[in-house]
Structure 1
Amino acid sequence: MTYMIKRLFDVLLSLFFLILLSPLLLIVALLIRWKLGAPILFRQIRPGMNGQPFEMVKFRSMRDATDADGYPLPDAERMTPFGNFLRASSLDELPELWNVLKGDMSLVGPRPLLMEYLPLYSQEQYRRHEVRPGVTGWAQVNGRNAISWEEKFDFDIWYVDNHNFFLDMKVLFLTAKKVFAREGITQQGSVAMPRFKGTVRNSKNN
């Protein structure tokens, strides 16, 4: 898929869904304000295409709970049943359509991870930034958070080398199927994917 076709597809579809889902977005926002309080949105700087930082927006899914020293409690203690529902249904991801409309993200591509991971990637793993990050991606429909980091990055690089319009359509279809089945949300025994600490055998520093 050429850059222009992919970008036009992203703009038209993200705008369509933002308009179509606006009542749902409002309802979710009100529920978050009621159950979790303010802020409604979670904002964080993530690496985009070529590793350039941008501000990603999601619906907040965790409580703002801290320990006696003011540090956030572990994810498992801040997560609520409502937050689990938002993640399992992927409703927390819907505000990222705004990032797609702005051009920070694409509908399909490697998921934007944390800025602190950038120096930990091998040269091959860093290639995931050769395309715009996506709301969903090839790794998400092949295991999401239930696979290892190394498997996730292998899927990301495969997408970078093979992406086209028909593959993107397949990913979007499989994403809808995964969301309804609620598959691969987390790794067993964890409410979120464990933090990436680098792949020793492929580390840039070796």
Structure 2
Amino acid sequence: MTDVVQRAIDIGVSAAALVVTAPVMAGVAAAVAVDLGRPVLFRQQRPGLHGRPFTLIKFRSMRDVDERRGLVTDADRLTGLGRALRATSLDELPTLWNVLRGDMSLVGPRPLLMRYLDLYSPEQARRHLVRPGVTGLAQVSGRNLVDWDERLALDVWYVDHRSLALNARICLRTVLTLLRREGVSAPGEATMPLFTGSARAGAEADGDA
């Protein structure tokens, strides 16, 4: 029943939010077009419910990779406007369309990269038993300051304990996190370092051997 009610909430809130934020999105789109050119939207395949791929939609915040110009790392490619959009999460507004479509939920584990699927331990892979979210427990528990093992553990904890009340608390904490602009980037990173596999999973494997 929780899933049915949450889906109804997702539809109602995302539809209303798309209407209310339309002027803001138009302004952001214009700013991105001036700063980065077209297209203004970033589209990428991400794993959704049960790991099935969907196309995530966000506003662009980075220049394209260009080795000749030295635009290789996220730090090189991220523009001043992009940093501001990420700090305020305005780049995430188009993902409301993903919520309306049913690709995502308002709350859930963040959709990460497709290439990470083979790197998760069986326990970590359980994060895909629910729809990914625009915000989630890991995001309100430190955002990109939380290391990968803790972040994925928080995702799995959410899967096991999700409820409408927990979702409401996460949404409230999300507002506070955005106002404080906490955890936008990991130390020494423009955003978050790439996930290369779980240190805990490796330790468990060594122990089993």
- Conservation of the 8 A alpha-carbon contact between 2:149 and 2:199: no
How far apart, in 2, do the equivalents of 1:118 and 1:65 lie?
A: 24
Match of 1:18 in 2: 18
Q: Find the residue that maps to 2:67 and give its secondary structure.
A: coil
Q: Which has the higher helix share?
A: 2
| Structure 1, gaps ≥5 residues long | none
Equivalence for 1:120: 119
Cα pair distance change 1:151/1:34, threshold 3 Å: same
Classify 1:200/1:173 alpha carbon distance in 2 versus 1 (closer, same or farther; 3 Å).
closer
TM-score (ref. length: structure 1) = 0.95
Deviation by residue 1:122-171 (Cα, 9 ceiling, x = unmatched): 01000000000000000000011011000101110110011111111111
Q: How does 1:149-188 map to 2 (within 5 A)?
A: 149-188=148-187
Which residue identity lines up with residue 178 of structure 1 in the other structure? T
**Gaps in structure 2 of 5+ consecutive residues:** none
Q: Could you tell me how far apart the structure 2 residues matched to 1:189 and 1:155 are?
A: 23
Alignment partners' CA distance in 2, 1:180 and 1:29: 22
SS of 1:84 mapped into structure 2: helix
What is aligned with 2:67? 67
The letter of the residue matching 2:2 is T
RMSD of aligned alpha carbons: 1.6
Q: Find runs of 4+ consecutive structure 1 residues off by over 2 angstroms.
A: none
> 2:149 and 2:67 mapped to 1: Cα distance?
33
CA distance in 2: counterparts of 1:63 and 1:177, whole angstroms: 29
Paired AA for residue 119 in structure 1? D
Under a length normalisation based on structure 2, what TM-score does the superposition of the two structures give?
A: 0.94
Structure 2 matches for 1:1-206, cutoff 5 A? 2-68=2-68, 73-202=72-201, 206=205
Q: Secondary structure at the match of 1:123?
A: coil
Mapped partners of 1:10, 1:195: distance in 2 = 30
The size of the alignment, in residue pairs, is: 204
- Residue-by-residue CA offset, 1:1-31 (whole Å, 9 max, x unaligned): 6221010000000001000111001000011
Q: Distance in 2 between matches of 1:129 and 1:172?
A: 20
Counterpart residue identity of residue 10, structure 2 = D
Shift of 1:67: 1.2
